[in-house]
A and B are shown apart, each in its own frame.
Chain A
Amino acid sequence: MVKNVSVVENIHSANDQLAAEIRQRLDNASVFSINIMASPGAGKTSLIERTLHELAALHEIAVIDGDVATSIDADRAAEAGATAVQINTGGQCHIDANMLRIAVNELDLANFDLLLVENVGNLICPVSFQLGTHKNILIASIPEGDDKPYKYPAMYQDVDALIINKIDLLPYVDFDMAYFEKGVQLLNPDLVTFPLSCRTGEGIQAWITWLTGFINNPKTT
């Protein structure tokens, strides 16, 4: 006989549960953490390098780098002064909470006050997988075009801060900032935005000030 069994369980519940455990561990160790998402080439690694350049002397920073293959990004982060852990997702288009948990296990969280997680370059999948990080950050870059909020609404809806990178290229490409901002406003009216250039350093300071405002318990002596 067929019997109907009520389930009512979120399809991401297993991932979300692991994410909650990661958050708890980060909170217990007073580590502030961000999940950086963007399309390939938007400047995730460059932003991390810039951030490390500004903060490596003041804070103890760990970087977890997610990539389909290679450790190029983790190597760049290590060179810039962070303790870096590479996750190779083996072809998967995003980091999930289980992968992050394994990477976090390689860090002694007590030694850090800031964790930067670099997600896989992709504007669709990463946003569906919560990682337990405190803030989700999206980087848009000028050469990608001004229509991205309209094409990838879920990504823009669920982030806490937006970085608009490569503003030094504005004179050279057709990028309608008003059109872009209208799309962002529609999807995420309260989104805090940082126009900047990782190459020239313009606008970086506002980002650094915002970010460091969340680090309550600096570990550097």
Chain B
Amino acid sequence: MHELAITEQIAKIANEHGEKNKATQITDLYLVIGELSTVIDDSVQFYWDLITENTLCEGAKLHFKRIPAVFRCRDCNKEYNLDQGELTPCPHCQSSSMDILQGKEFHLDSINII
């Protein structure tokens, strides 16, 4: 249920940047969410309309850009992805030792304002 807290934080950041840029309205938000970030787009969308009433964000559209997870094997140095959403050992050498190169992103990239 922490999508509510997340949605509130997104609105807060957007409203702050809107005010700073003397916006009369925020029309779009561009969010960048890594595949490994546990956030459900639909839930955020659900809370969005409720909590943005009477703010600069009222009626603004949310755009989610999903970043696929990429891992690099510490043993054979090859890169790989999740296998149908599941984390697996390295498909090239079966090592289970790896680093996460991307997929944990979780930020508001930009907003459109009027």
Contact = CB atoms under 8 A, between A and B. Distances in A.
A189 B9 CA distance: 32
A186 B88 CA distance: 8
Contact of B108 (A11, A96, A153): A11
Contacts of B111: 4-5, 7
Given A7-B17, A9-B107, A186-B96, 16 more contacts: A2-B27, A2-B113, A2-B114, A3-B21, A5-B23, A5-B111, A7-B108, A10-B106, A11-B9, A12-B9, A13-B9, A92-B1, A94-B2, A125-B1, A153-B87, A157-B36
Interface in B96-112: 96-98, 100, 106-112
A154 B97 contact: no
Contact of A92 (B5, B21, B110): B5
Contacts of B17: 5, 7, 9
Contact of A185 (B9, B36, B96): B96
14 contacts: A1-B114, A3-B114, A5-B112, A6-B109, A6-B110, A8-B107, A10-B107, A94-B5, A125-B1, A128-B6, A129-B5, A154-B37, A186-B98, A189-B96
A187 interface: yes
Contacts of B38: 124, 128, 154
A53 interface: no
Interface string B71-101: 0001000000000001111000000111010
Given A5-B21, A189-B97, A154 B36 contact: yes
Contact of A96 (B5, B18, B36, B110): B5
Interface in B17-37: 17-18, 21, 23, 27, 31, 36-37
A56 to B, nearest CB: 33
A177 interface: no
A199 interface: no
B92 to A, nearest CB: 15
Contacts of A15: 9
Interface of A: 1-15, 92-94, 96, 124-125, 128-129, 150, 153-154, 157, 182, 185-187, 189
B12 interface: yes
A92 B88 CA distance: 32
Q: Which 10 A-B pairs have the closest CB atoms?
A: A125-B2, A186-B96, A189-B97, A7-B108, A10-B107, A185-B96, A93-B1, A6-B110, A2-B112, A7-B17
Contacts of B21: 3, 5
Nearest to A93: B1
Contacts of A157: 36, 100
B13 interface: yes
Contacts of A153: 36, 87
B112 A3 contact: yes
Contacts of A2: 27, 112-114
